[in-house]
Amino acid sequence: MTRVPNYRKTLMESPIAQAVLALTLASAIMTSEAHASADEPVMTGPPQGLSAGAAYVSSNQSYRGLSADSVAVPFLGYEGEQFYLRGLTAGWYLQRDRQQQLALTLNGELFRFRPAESTDAQMQQLDRRNLSLTLGLQHRYSSRYGVFSSHLKTDITGRHEGQLFNFRYGYPLNRPGQAWQVTPEIGFNYYSRSYVRYYYAVSAAEAQRSGLAEYQPSDAISPLLGLNVYRYFTPQFSAVASYTIARNDGSIRNSPMVRGRSTRSLFLAVSYRF
């Protein structure tokens, strides 16, 4: 990893860029039809076209000296017959019907670490961990027993050359077509060794610089629980909320960079479909 001096400011460190990142995450959530999961294509009816709205996004990274990022932003989304654009995720359907969807995806990954933003003096001496771009394959299957979704992604930027896999099972508590829908979820995230080492390892040089212990983790599996809620006020106007908590695997939790046993995310949004 290349050391970036603290006095160097890039575009991605500006407040505007931070708002754009949150905007794209909110867009990924709000352009879904059924429930507020940011990581799956859920459109099962006719193409929805353009939608716009506003969202509140809050998430934490579990890094020492960094608190949760929270911001309110506007957003735009698009859902077509074969193509969709949800913030930093673009998808092309290979198969799509009311029961299952299979899509090829291009994903901008929002995860990063910027030493200058940490209030911990030791963390400020570590190397920067950057955003990445992944190519993925996403599948969703709906049945009377619930909804099964999975997403396999691999880095194509050379940042960490790692892989990510997400699996979720959700069971809607209301019947389809109702104005309200509540869907609890259970699942897990898998991160390959290359991915975990890029974002959570402490190299020998970093250890000497910062005083933190040298650390080289392996791959990780993080179980998660989620709750998704949506409400249709009119055929065009709707609101969604989503809360997810994931328990950090030991490979992540034992890193000297990490301060918590879990990561959490909260999304609240309203949208209008044109």
Six-digit token pair at 265? 């995310």
Domain membership of residue 107 (yes or no) is yes
% the chain with pLDDT above 70: 81
Task: Give the pLDDT of residue 157.
Answer: 92
Domain membership of residue 4 (yes or no) is no
pLDDT in tens, 161-220: 999 999 999 999 987 667 888 999 999 999 999 999 999 999 999 999 999 999 999 999
Please give the tally of structural domains in the chain: 1
Task: Give the pLDDT of residue 236.
Answer: 86
- The β-bridge relationship of strands 180-191 and 220-232 is antiparallel
Domain extent at residue 217: 11-273
CATH of the domain at 196: 2.40.160.40
Name the average pLDDT for the chain. 82
% the chain with pLDDT above 90: 50
- The β-bridge relationship of strands 100-109 and 262-273 is unpaired
Domain membership of residue 215 (yes or no) is yes
With a cut of 70, say whether residue 22 has pLDDT above it.
no
Domain membership of residue 1 (yes or no) is no
| 3-class secondary structure, 48 | coil
| 75 φ, ψ (degrees, to nearest 5) | -160, 165
pLDDT in tens, 126-163: 999 988 999 999 999 999 899 999 999 999 998 899 99
Please provide the DSSP assignment of 132-160 as one string.
EEEEEEEEEEEETTEEEEEEEEEE-SSSS
Instruction: Enumerate the β-bridge partners of residue 53.
Output: 75, 271
Q: Residue 6 — very low, low, confident or very high, per pLDDT cuts 50/70/90? A: very low
| 171 φ, ψ (degrees, to nearest 5) | -125, 105
Q: Residue 121 — very low, low, confident or very high, per pLDDT cuts 50/70/90? A: very high
Task: Give the pLDDT of residue 211.
Answer: 95
Task: Give the pLDDT of residue 151.
Answer: 96
How far apart are the C-alpha atoms of 132 and 8, rounded to whole Å? 20
pLDDT in tens, 37-61: 334 434 444 456 788 888 888 878 7
How far apart are the C-alpha atoms of 121 and 161, rounded to whole Å? 29
Task: Give the pLDDT of residue 47.
Answer: 54
Domain membership of residue 124 (yes or no) is yes
Domain membership of residue 164 (yes or no) is yes
How far apart are the C-alpha atoms of 12 and 116, rounded to whole Å? 13
Domain membership of residue 5 (yes or no) is no
Average pLDDT (234-243) is 89
Q: Phi-psi bin for 257: left (phi > 0), alpha (psi -120 to 50), beta?
A: alpha
Q: Which residue has the tokens 């699942």?
A: 187
Instruction: Enumerate the β-bridge partners of residue 55.
Output: 73, 269
Q: Which residue has the tokens 């989620």?
A: 226
Domain membership of residue 3 (yes or no) is no
CA-nearest of 39, 216, 269, 270 to 137 is: 39
